[in-house]
Amino acid sequence: MMKPSQRAANTVLAGQQNNPTGALSGLRVLDLTDHKAHLCARLLADMGADVIKVEPPGGDEGRRVGPFVGDLPHPDRSLFFWFYNFNKRSLTLSLEHRRGRELFEQLVRGCDVVVESHRPGWMSAMGLGWERLHDLNPALVLCSIAPFGQTGPRRGFEADDTVLTALSGMLFVNGFPAERPLRPLGLQAYHSASYYGAVAVMMALIARERDGGVGQRIDLSMQEATVASLEQVAAVYFAERRIQRRAGSLHWTRFFRVGRCRDGYVMHSAMGDWTSLIEWVKADGKARDLDHPEWNDYAYRREHAEHIFDVLDDWIKDYPRDELVARAQALRLSYASVRGPEELFADEQLKARGYFVEVEHPELGRSFLYPGPPYRFERSAWRIYRRPPLLGEHTGEILRDDAGVSTGELAALAAEGVI
């Protein structure tokens, strides 16, 4: 989530260098992912790793995904690309060109991690398979992220987030009972794979210390990462051989459901102090049969959850949302407002923790608010220290500093389409 903002005390300047106090400071990562796995390397960059985003000379495909700042399509104005690539440096380099591969190999010798999401077999076809990279740098950790992994009958298949959630079982359990399944919000498969990828990389780095400095390859299946994210759906099936049915906004515990107030939505709760809730509803003349003795039984309420929430929906329809939630919480009832994204910027809790970070984009003459960290380290700071890179912005400095390429050769490489 980004929005234009006035300059604040925690403004991040575009030219700031890497995070020297981050937990992964000193780690060098080459990022060869496409939009399906951009987040994996960004999570490493957020904790201080020097992540070099290796893009083809025409730019990563994520730069062509909207929305764009000012509705002006441009590779440096994609909000989609911004979210997944801040804190990274951009190097344009064609791996399909022999000289490009040679330069990449030079960079591999001095890096710790390569994260890639090409079709299985593509890196080997380029002469950059695991065996070659391991020979160049035995300490290297390679994380290969693919829709179905590197083996199996679907190893060469393409799949986007919707297909992966469909094949993982996630899409099937989303939606309303009498209707067809609904696609989950966002990019659940892509994000699940990226989270698992970042964790796997860090585990492999720990193993490298144990194994005398020898790295290894990680084969990560996006389908399997999504299956692993089914949470209670899988547990219920394993334990009871029962498929959890679609329930709309009813929580799987059957004690929470979304209802509509006069001016917004709230999350109802039938858990907690049932007596206080029903006395309140009864005082408003809307309890119907919910004050009958059988509703005091926890199991009975769970079995008949839909009826409870139908009654409560009718009760709250004329209440102002914030008034209802404040009174419910005063009675120790676990009600919550259902907020729109625009309300998060005014959230006092997020403000107190400095969650949103302002980042300058000098080339646009503006600054934007970016989402910050969900965690705080006592000594290893998380911070945004670089706005998303312009296309090829760091190509010259990376190739000069890390591959010994002269200024004259840079011009020749550009003319040949290598960078």
Give pLDDT tens digits for 64-90. Answer: 999 999 999 999 999 999 999 999 999
175 and 46, same structural domain?
A: yes
Q: What is the pLDDT of residue 352?
A: 94
Total Cβ atoms within 10 A of residue 303: 11
315 and 178, same structural domain?
A: no
Let me know if residue 362 belongs to a domain: no
320 and 273, same structural domain?
A: yes
Yes or no: say if 337 and 264 are a contact pair by the CB < 8 Å rule.
Answer: yes
Rounded mean pLDDT, 50-59:
97
Q: What is the pLDDT of residue 282?
A: 96
218 and 79, same structural domain?
A: yes
Tens digit of pLDDT for each residue in 150-195?
999 999 999 999 999 999 999 999 999 889 999 999 999 999 999 9
* Nearest Cα to Cα of residue 129 among 27, 28, 32, 29: 32
Let me know if residue 72 belongs to a domain: yes
Where does the pLDDT of residue 241 fall: very low under 50, low under 70, confident under 90, or very high at 90 and above?
Answer: confident
Let me know if residue 407 belongs to a domain: yes
For the stretch 324-335, what's the b/e string if a residue is b when 16 or more beta carbons lie within 10 angstroms of its beta carbon? Answer: bbeebeeeebeb
Q: What is the pLDDT of residue 385?
A: 87
Let me know if residue 200 belongs to a domain: yes
Rounded mean pLDDT, 365-371:
94
| Residue where a domain terminates, one of 298, 326, 344 | 344
260 and 227, same structural domain?
A: no
222 and 309, same structural domain?
A: no
Tens digit of pLDDT for each residue in 106-123?
999 999 999 999 999 999
Q: Residue 269 belongs to what domain range?
A: 256-344
In eight-state DSSP terms, residue 263 is S
Report the phi/psi class of residue 254: left, alpha or beta, with left for phi > 0 and alpha for psi in -120 to 50. Answer: left
261 and 194, same structural domain?
A: no
Yes or no: say if 266 and 324 are a contact pair by the CB < 8 Å rule.
Answer: yes
- Tell whether the model's pLDDT for residue 270 goes beyond 70: yes
Q: What is the pLDDT of residue 244?
A: 79
Q: How far is CA 41 from CA 143, 201, 254, 351, 373, in A?
A: 10, 10, 37, 27, 15
- For the record, the structure tokens of 151 come out as 């083996």
* Nearest Cα to Cα of residue 158 among 255, 250, 66, 223: 223
Q: What is the pLDDT of residue 10?
A: 46
Yes or no: say if 197 and 220 are a contact pair by the CB < 8 Å rule.
Answer: yes
For position 178, which CATH number holds? 3.40.50.10540
Q: What is the pLDDT of residue 253?
A: 87
Yes or no: say if 218 and 197 are a contact pair by the CB < 8 Å rule.
Answer: yes
- Tell whether the model's pLDDT for residue 11 goes beyond 50: no
Rounded mean pLDDT, 17-24:
79
- Tell whether the model's pLDDT for residue 8 goes beyond 50: no
- Tell whether the model's pLDDT for residue 124 goes beyond 50: yes
275 and 146, same structural domain?
A: no
Give me the catalytic one of 191, 251, 304, 307: 251
382 and 326, same structural domain?
A: no
- Tell whether the model's pLDDT for residue 19 goes beyond 90: no
Task: Provide Rg for the chain, Cα atoms.
Answer: 26
Q: Which residue has the tokens 């625009």?
A: 342
Q: Is 292 designated active site?
A: no
220 and 75, same structural domain?
A: yes
Q: Which of 79-83, 381-385, 414-418 has the lowest mean pLDDT?
A: 381-385
Let me know if residue 153 belongs to a domain: yes
Q: How far is CA 332 from CA 272, 275, 305, 323, in A?
A: 8, 11, 20, 14
139 and 80, same structural domain?
A: yes
**What percent of the chain lies above the pLDDT cut of 70?**
96
Q: What is the mean pLDDT of the chain?
A: 92
Let me know if residue 162 belongs to a domain: yes
- Tell whether the model's pLDDT for residue 20 goes beyond 80: no
Q: What is the pLDDT of residue 375?
A: 87
131 and 33, same structural domain?
A: yes
Let me know if residue 154 belongs to a domain: yes
Q: Check: pTM over 0.85? Answer yes or no.
A: yes
Provide the domain count of the chain. Answer: 2
